[in-house]
Each structure stands twice: as structure tokens, then as C-alpha cells.
Amino acid sequence: MKTKMYKPFGLLLASAVIFGGMFTSCGGKKEITNVKNETLIELHCSGPEFRSDKNTFRANATGESTDMEIARKKASSNSKAALASQIQTVIKGTTDNYVNSREYNNVEEVEERFEALNREVINQQLNSVRTICEKITQTKTGTYKCYMAIEMSTDALEEAMNNKLSKDQRLKVDYDYEKYKDTFDKEMEKLESGY
């Protein structure tokens, strides 16, 4: 007899689970915000608005120290290093494609000369970067953490490159600004699209 008393309760419970499941599945996708053993980290001065595009090189980095000014200097140094690396990659691609598209007698010598001038220009231009975001926090242990994002116009870099390349005695005979600019623009499009 006891089994007869539990059957209606079991059916009622099963029905509730089925209907409850139907209603919750109709709600669409649920975003999972808590992942076991993980904590979501929000980085200041980071995100899509701080990424390079075809008009502007951008980089961000952090610096940490027990001294706030040293944390800022570290963040500045780290972000400039990241920016320089990014620029060098674009310039290297530009130089390789530009030199290979031209008919130089000694390709190696021309590439070396381009690279030497590129390094010189990049080092000069890094002095004129603009800070677009800076946030300083203090950690639980008492250290300071500086988040920084910087940017530099591609036009300023292009102009500086053109000035250096067109004045170089060994290169100016064969240097074609429009061809170089076109090659540079293609490399910047690759950077923006993430290739």
C-alpha cells in the first residue's frame, strides 16, 4: 500500500522537473560568469580602443614597484618596448617587400642600410609618443602598479622614414617614396586585421 501513496508524488515530482526544464531551456543562452578556480582579471588601459590600427601604433604595459614613480617608469619603458617591437615588425615587413620589389644590385647591402635607418628613426620617434591612458593602483601588499597605454601616429613615423631614406646618399638614387608608402600601408592593414 505504501507504494500506491508514493506513485502520485513521484509523478508530480517528475512532471515538475520536466516542465521546469522546459521553461529554463526556453530562456536562451546563459552567460557563465563564475568559472571554478578562476578569477576574471580586468586590465586597465587595455582593450579594443588601445589596439593599433592603420593610422596609429598603440601599445600597453604595466610596471610594479614599492615606489610609485618607479612603477610609472617601468610601465613607460615596458610600453615603449612593446611599441618599438610592433613598429619594427611592420618596418621589417615593409623593407623586405619594398627591397624585393625593386631591382637593386646588392640587395643585402640595401636591406642592411634600410634596417640601420629604421632603427635610428624608431629610436627618435619613441621620444614623441603620447600617453593615452595611465592608471595607478596599490596592491594588498603595498606595492604600486601602473597601467599605461601609449600611441604614435603612423604619419609621423612615415614622414621621419621618408626624410631619412631620401637623404641617404646610397639609397636616394633608387628610393621611390610612393612605392615605399604603398608597401608600408599594406603592412599597416595587415597589422590592423591581425595578420
DSSP string of 30-64, one letter each residue: ------TT----PPTT-SGGGS--SSEEEEEEEEE
Please state at what angle helix 177-193 crosses helix 154-167, rounded to 10 degrees.
150
Sign of CA dihedral 93, 95, 101, 107: negative
pLDDT digit string, tens, across residues 3-39: 444 444 444 444 444 444 444 444 444 455 567 888 8
Whole-structure pTM value: 0.69
Task: Look up residue 161 and give its three cell numbers.
Answer: 622614414
pLDDT for res 19: 42
State yes or no: pLDDT of 158 exceeds 50. Answer: yes
pLDDT band, residue 44 (cuts 50/70/90): very high
Task: Tell me what the mean pLDDT of segment 37-53 comes to.
Answer: 86
Instruction: Give the CA dihedral 141, 146, 147, 149, nearest 10 degrees.
Output: -170
Q: Which three-class secondary structure state does DSSP give residue 174?
A: coil
Task: Look up residue 121 and give its three cell numbers.
Answer: 628613426
pLDDT digit string, tens, across residues 179-193: 888 888 888 888 777
For 140, counting Cβ atoms within 10 Å of its Cβ (0-12 exposed, 13-18 middle, 19+ buried), the class is exposed
DSSP string of 1-34, one letter each residue: -HHHHHHHHHHHHHHHHHHHHHHHHTT-------
Task: Tell me what the mean pLDDT of segment 142-163 comes to.
Answer: 90
